[in-house]
Amino acid sequence: MTPEQASHDLASVVLGVPGRFMTDPTTFAQGAKLGFEGMDFYIAGRGGALGEVDADVVTAALVFIAADVVRPAWDRSARVMARRRAAEEWSACGHRWAEEHFGDGPDYARFADLLGRVVREASPACAPLFAAVRSLPEPPEALPLAQHRLNDVRELRGALHGAAILTVGLSPIEAVTVRSPAVASLFGWAEPLPDADPLRDRWALAEARTDRMVGRHLAVLDAAERAELVDIGLAIAAALA
C-alpha cells in the first residue's frame, strides 16, 4: 500500500474516531464540571497545548473556527485553569472515552505502536497544534494510548488540510460550507453561507493534497505496515460500542 493510499483510506478513522469523543455529551459534562461554559472546553482543551498565547494564535492553529468564537472562549477559559492543564483534562476525556467505547477485537497495542512511529517521526512544519499536543503525557494502557496517538495524527492531518485549503484558494468559511455546513454557525460563520457547489472541485483538490502530505509522514512505515495500520484502524471504527 502506498503512503498516499494509506493516508486516504485512514482519513475517516483519523477524523471520525477522535471526533466522537470531542462531540460526546459526557465530554462537555466534564467540561462543565471543571467550570467551563458551553464550547469553551473544546477551545481550551485543544488550544491549551499551545500554552499562554494570544487568542489569534489559537485561531490560526484551529483554522476553521472564526475568531469571534475563539477569542471570547479563550479569554473566559483562562479564568478556569491553566492552559496546559486544560489540554491535559481534554486529553484525559479522550482516554476515558476510548476505555468506555472501544470494542473488543482490534489489536489496539499494535495500532498504537504503528501510530507512535508516525507521530515521533513526523515533521511539525506547518502543524503547530500537532507539535503541541505531541508533547502531552501518554497513557500506558493500549486503548487510551491508541486514542491518544490517533488524536495526535488528527491534529497533524487537520493542520495540513488547513494549509491545503488555503493553497487552493478557499477560505475557512468556504471549506466549512462544503464539508460541514451543519456546524457553520457553531464555528462562528454567519448566514448566508457561500454557495458550496462552485467550491467542491477545489475542496476535492485540497483533500487530495492533504492525502499526499499526510502520506509522506506514513512513509516511515513500510507498505505492509501501512496496510496493517489501515486494517486495524477500520476495525477499530467498526467495533466502536
Q: What is the pLDDT of residues 55-88, one digit of tens each?
A: 999 999 999 999 999 999 999 999 999 999 999 9
Distance in angstroms (rounded) separating the CA atoms of residues 34 and 28: 10
Distance in angstroms (rounded) separating the CA atoms of residues 106 and 168: 37
Which pLDDT score, from 0 to 100, does residue 4 have?
97
pLDDT beyond 80 at 172: yes
Which pLDDT score, from 0 to 100, does residue 241 have?
64
Rounded to the nearest integer, the mean pLDDT of the chain is: 97
Residues 207 and 164 sit within 8 Å (Cβ to Cβ): yes
Q: What is the pLDDT of residues 12-58, one digit of tens each?
A: 999 999 999 999 999 999 999 999 999 999 999 999 999 999 999 99
Q: How confident is the model at residue 10 (pLDDT cuts 50, 70, 90)?
A: very high
pLDDT beyond 80 at 142: yes
Of the candidates 234, 167, 149, which has an alpha carbon nearest to the alpha carbon of residue 207?
A: 167
Distance in angstroms (rounded) separating the CA atoms of residues 227 and 3: 9
Distance in angstroms (rounded) separating the CA atoms of residues 178 and 199: 7
Distance in angstroms (rounded) separating the CA atoms of residues 217 and 117: 10
| Torsion of the alpha carbons at 231, 152, 210 and 176, rounded to the nearest 10 | 110
pTM for the full predicted model:
0.96
| SS3 (DSSP) at 12 | helix
Distance in angstroms (rounded) separating the CA atoms of residues 184 and 190: 7
What are the helix (H) ranges across 168-186?
A: 172-179
Which pLDDT score, from 0 to 100, does residue 17 have?
96
Residues in the chain: 241
Q: How confident is the model at residue 6 (pLDDT cuts 50, 70, 90)?
A: very high
Q: Which long-range contacts (CB under 8 A, 24 or more apart) does 130-137 make?
A: 130/155, 130/156, 130/158, 130/159, 132/49, 132/50, 132/51, 132/61, 132/87, 133/46, 133/49, 133/87, 133/91, 135/49, 136/49, 136/87, 136/88, 136/91, 137/88
